[in-house]
Amino acid sequence: MKKILNIILKTGAPLLLGAVILFWIYRNFDFDEVLTALKGMNLGWFWLSCVFGVLSHAIRGWRWRLTLAPLGYKPANSSCVYSIFIAYAANLVVPRVGEVSRCVVLERYDKVPFAQSLGTLVSERLVDTVMVVTITLIAVLSQWRVFYAFVAESGVTDTGSVFSSIGRIVVFFLCFIAVSFILYLIVRKMSLWVKLRSFFSRFWSGFTSLSRMQGLWLFIVETVGIWLCYFLQFYLCFFCFPFSEDISLWAALLLFVAGSIAVVVPTPNGAGPWHFCIMGIMMLYGVSSTDAGVFALIVHSLQTLLVALLGIFGLIMLQIKKQ
């Protein structure tokens, strides 16, 4: 019974949190505007953005294989890439479970020990954190006026805004509680790992693999490539709609940073917090609350669908490979 309740909590709570925030943001929204925008959407730009979305996952898989080489493991490139597809799709069901699932996939199909692959994953995440911090500093410094306005006002620019003072409090409070809970679970899990000395030894070996890597420059290039593809996938979506095609590159970078930080909140693909941030900042750039809501809803929904389809594709290809 306890196990069932635990599963329900892990899957249901993130969905509920995302649903509550989305309901609050879109409670007075005219969804007919979404259908109108979809009919006039420039699909050419969207399909091009999808190419960069797939490429970002593929490069992440190739980079992961590079970090495993110093440990003596050389899994197939395809296995690494498919595991990334599956990991991101798994995060849609249970946020943050993808990191574990990709290690499980590699252990099952290419016999890479779970503890060591998990160690390399953590070192990757630290490098990605450095990238996020760097991009954030660039975006904030270049768009300080808008960033300051968003922090101060949280997107309230007119009486037609989809946000209210109470709404901001609710959103930020729920996000704070959710992130705190995730941090608590991580700390508790880490304390259990430390007790398992053999596991921790293998984990540490994987974690320090970067220091023994021969292709360090390739790792750096791939890391930059991953985040460039992430940004292009997002940026190209602005050209899909007439009301957003004039958003500048620097404005898009600030929006990208805000969205990247918002997905830290444990909801499916950042649903809710991502919409809140994107809509609020777009409105500060002169986009109406309705158009900002349309953009956030369509882009997030389609990108989430892409993640889900890639996950299914990865599962199918691994099953074919196994036969």
pLDDT of residue 36: 92
Strand, helix or coil for residue 42: coil
Read off the pTM. Answer: 0.80
Provide the sign of the torsion angle of the four alpha carbons 57, 61, 66, 67, taken in this order.
positive
pLDDT of residue 162: 42
pLDDT (tens digit per residue) in 187-240: 555 444 444 445 555 555 555 666 666 778 888 899 999 999 999 999 999 999
Contact partners, residue 85, CB within 8 Å, separation at least 6: 57, 310, 311, 313, 314
* Highest mean pLDDT out of 48-62, 73-87, 109-123: 48-62
Rounded to an integer, the average pLDDT of 11-25 is: 74
Q: Which domain holds residue 64?
A: 42-322
pLDDT of residue 304: 93
pLDDT of residue 320: 86
DSSP codes, 296-318: HHHHHHHHHHHHHHHHHHHHHHH
Contact partners, residue 39, CB within 8 Å, separation at least 6: none
* Distance, CA of 61 to CA of 71 (rounded, Å): 16
In a domain, 15, yes or no: no
* Distance, CA of 14 to CA of 274 (rounded, Å): 14
Q: Higher model confidence: residue 195 or residue 18?
A: 18
What is the count of structural domains for the chain?
Answer: 1
pLDDT of residue 163: 45
pLDDT of residue 155: 43
In a domain, 2, yes or no: no
In a domain, 24, yes or no: no
Contact 62, 316 (CB under 8 A): no
* Distance, CA of 16 to CA of 95 (rounded, Å): 12
In a domain, 152, yes or no: yes
pLDDT (tens digit per residue) in 34-78: 999 999 999 999 999 999 999 999 999 999 988 888 888 888 999
Nearest to 186 by CA among 118, 244, 140, 273: 118
pLDDT (tens digit per residue) in 285-298: 889 999 999 999 99
Contact partners, residue 112, CB within 8 Å, separation at least 6: 68, 73, 75, 103, 106
Contact 21, 272 (CB under 8 A): yes
* Distance, CA of 159 to CA of 238 (rounded, Å): 25
- Of all residues in the chain, the percent with pLDDT exceeding 90 is 36
> At residue 244, what is the residue type?
S
pLDDT of residue 147: 76
In a domain, 123, yes or no: yes
Distance set, CA 98 to CA 22, 48, 144 (Å): 23, 26, 34
* Distance, CA of 273 to CA of 171 (rounded, Å): 7
In a domain, 25, yes or no: no
Is residue 323 over pLDDT 80? no
pLDDT of residue 63: 92
Rounded to an integer, the average pLDDT of 89-113 is: 84
In a domain, 32, yes or no: no
Q: Higher model confidence: residue 155 or residue 138?
A: 138
Weakest-pLDDT range from 7-11, 88-92, 235-239, 250-254: 7-11
In a domain, 30, yes or no: no
Half-sphere exposure of 196 (CA within 13 A, CB side): 10
* Distance, CA of 1 to CA of 117 (rounded, Å): 32
pLDDT of residue 204: 52
- The 10 Å CB-count burial string (b at 16+, else e) for 43-75 is eebbebbbebbbbbbbbbbbbbbbbbbbbebeb
Average pLDDT value for the chain: 80
pLDDT (tens digit per residue) in 249-295: 999 999 999 898 888 777 778 888 899 889 989 998 889 999 999 99
Nearest to 251 by CA among 101, 160, 98, 144: 144
